[in-house]
A and B are shown apart, each in its own frame.
Chain A
Amino acid sequence: MSSSSAINSSLPNRWILAIAAFCMQLALGSVYAWSVFLKPVASLYYHVPSAQLAAAQLKPTNITFSVVLVALGITAGFGGYLNNRFGPRVIATAGGILYGLGVILAAFAAPNLIVLYLTYGIIGGIGIGLGYIVALAWKELPFLALLAFSVLATRGPALEETARSLGAGPWAVFRRVTWPLLWRGLLPGIVSVFAFVAGSYEAAVLLAPSDPLPLPLLTYERYTDPDLGRRADAYVLVLLGLGLAAVAVALHEWARARAESFDS
């Protein structure tokens, strides 16, 4: 009892964290509202009512969305590292400020398209990228929280108690005991989630974009192609999928063995 309350006191209220992440995700979703902005924004640049805009006129303005997504993707790639280094509070705040700044500065961008790319595209995209890392962590929360619970419930309390009795403060207990236990315990679950999502067919067939096709859909398409010559492609893709699965299995077993050796 005392050990669990001690862990809780070293962390902010979890419910507030979850609500904050939920609100953040709602706000970040506004990036996909770009199609709503597209015509009004384009009409600012071409001085034409939005109903009369030609497709060719929409194209340059629409590049902004690609720029946003590229900036988002690249930033999110580094976001995990930054998140570990500076903590979610700093990263989420920086994300919010940058996204807001991008949107506000974009209001002054017309008539220069490059300025729009730089403001809404790059600055806003970096902001969303930083925010998404924190929000994605929330999205995968239920499954991984269940795993974290079982990891900590079976191994945590005794070790934490020992660390505390040896004089470790709450932060040291979290950094030296709870966290190492947790990530080793969670790694197999993370690998499983990756393998499952990468190979999932039915979710991809309903929700994924048609270009580029996800691996399972492309495999099926090539496998059922009337042109038998293209079946060879399917077998290459199958081998690729199996190779990925084998790597995931090896990683999973390595992570599990590591977690077990850490345990004993």
Chain B
Amino acid sequence: MSGGRTIRIALLGALALSTLGPLALLAVVSLGDRWFFPALWPPRLSAESWRSLLGGRLGYAAATSLVLATSTGVLGCLIALPLGRSLARLTGWRRTVGAAAAFLPVAAPPIALGTGLQVSFLSLGLGGTLVGVILAHLVPAVAYVSLYFLGLFLVFDPRIEEEARSLGAGRFDLWRRVLLPLLHRPLAEGFALGFLVSWAQVPLTLLVGGGAVRTLPLEVLAFVRAGQDRYAATGALLLIVPAFLALALGLSARRAEPAPL
């Protein structure tokens, strides 16, 4: 048994190394000045790329991404919650078709969605605007989040709603006093999902934003292509932060209380 334990620890160590090793390397790259092959360590360290977060290209892109992702997360949840609930109430082939319709924007290559959206958004005057990009991000985000809520409402006990209604709760009270308190955590998770879908989105921003809306992933790609490794590494590290935060908060919330549904 102790042999198994040693193997387990060694394996977990290897897993931690393979996860954290690249991140540590990114951190060094983000600080390394004039670091070329075959030097094993950067000859000089510089925090220039990190300073550019305060007012530079990276900082501006990070702020744009934050606005986009927060708006997409909130709006996505607002649209997807009733959508997922309605889908869960369907039965038989109707639910299959509904779930398939929700799944299509998830499965479709974003570049294919983007080409279609760009044409219609340009004719509406939304091309190259922040609003246009939010609307474009909402397409996959709503799909992801409504599939999440569909799964949730499939196991949600409908008797809770029936009970509240039989006790005299109207539609408004049902939502305010029964469903929303119960859905507190799923809503936070749905928001995180929508946020992350938008935060990492490249092709839709590229096509609908038309180069006028510069988000963090776009800048990271641009820095990689320009060989500006330091800035690319800083941006890449920043891109990982929300995913880590969501994971850590989700885990701590799960540990603190059992799932309500």
What distance in Å separates the Cβ of A213 from its nearest Cβ neighbour in chain B?
Answer: 12
Q: Which residues of B contact A80 (CB under 8 A)?
A: none
Within 8 A of B (CB), among A204-244: 205-206, 215-216, 219-220, 223, 234-235, 238, 241-242, 244
Once A and B bind, how many residue pairs between them come within 8 Å at the CB atom? 91
In the complex, whether A183 has a CB less than 8 A from a CB of chain B is: no
Q: Which residues of A contact B96 (CB under 8 A)?
A: 253, 257
Nearest-CB residue, chain A, relative to B8: A15
In the complex, whether B131 has a CB less than 8 A from a CB of chain A is: no
Contact, CB under 8 Å: A199 / B7: no
In the complex, whether A245 has a CB less than 8 A from a CB of chain B is: yes
Contact, CB under 8 Å: A15 / B115: no
Query: Within the assembled complex, what's the spacing in Å between the Cα atoms of A241 and B116?
Result: 12
Nearest-CB residue, chain B, relative to A251: B107
Q: Which residues of B contact A54 (CB under 8 A)?
A: none
Contact, CB under 8 Å: A249 / B104: yes
Q: How large is the interface on B (under 10, 10 to 19, 20 to 34, 35 or more residues)?
A: 20 to 34
Contact, CB under 8 Å: B104 / A199: no
Q: Which residues of A contact B202 (CB under 8 A)?
A: 201-202, 205
Contact, CB under 8 Å: B111 / A18: no
Majority secondary structure of chain A interface residues (helix, strand, loop or mixed): helix
User: Digit string of B7-51 for contact with A (CB within 8 Å is 1, else 0)?
Assistant: 110110010000000000000000000000000000000000000
Q: Which residues of A contact B112 (CB under 8 A)?
A: 199, 219, 238, 241-242, 245
User: Digit string of A241-264 for contact with B (CB within 8 Å is 1, else 0)?
Assistant: 110111011101100110000000
In the complex, whether B258 has a CB less than 8 A from a CB of chain A is: no
Q: Which residues of B contact A196 (CB under 8 A)?
A: 107
**CB-contact partner of A241 in B8, B103, B108, B224, under 8 A:** B108
Majority secondary structure of chain B interface residues (helix, strand, loop or mixed): helix
In the complex, whether A195 has a CB less than 8 A from a CB of chain B is: yes
Query: Within the assembled complex, what's the spacing in Å between the Cα atoms of A244 and B116?
Result: 16
**CB-contact partner of B111 in A195, A219, A248, A257, under 8 A:** A219
What distance in Å separates the Cβ of A150 from its nearest Cβ neighbour in chain B?
Answer: 11
Q: Which residues of B contact A241 (CB under 8 A)?
A: 108-109, 111-112
In the complex, whether B250 has a CB less than 8 A from a CB of chain A is: no
Nearest-CB residue, chain A, relative to B206: A220
Q: Which residues of B contact A216 (CB under 8 A)?
A: 109-111, 203
**A234-B103 contact in complex given A202-B221, A241-B109, A245-B108, C-beta closer than 8 Å:** no
**CB-contact partner of A249 in B14, B100, B207, under 8 A:** B100
**A249-B221 contact in complex given A13-B4, A234-B115, C-beta closer than 8 Å:** no
Q: Which residues of A contact B103 (CB under 8 A)?
A: 249, 252-253
Q: Which residues of B contact A244 (CB under 8 A)?
A: 109
Query: Within the assembled complex, what's the spacing in Å between the Cα atoms of A198 and B100?
Result: 18
Spell out B's residues near A (CB within 8 Å).
4, 7-8, 10-11, 14, 96, 99-100, 103-104, 106-112, 115-116, 200, 202-203, 206-207, 217, 221, 224
The 10 closest A-B CB pairs, nearest first, are: A199-B109, A195-B107, A245-B108, A241-B112, A245-B107, A241-B109, A201-B203, A238-B112, A202-B202, A216-B111
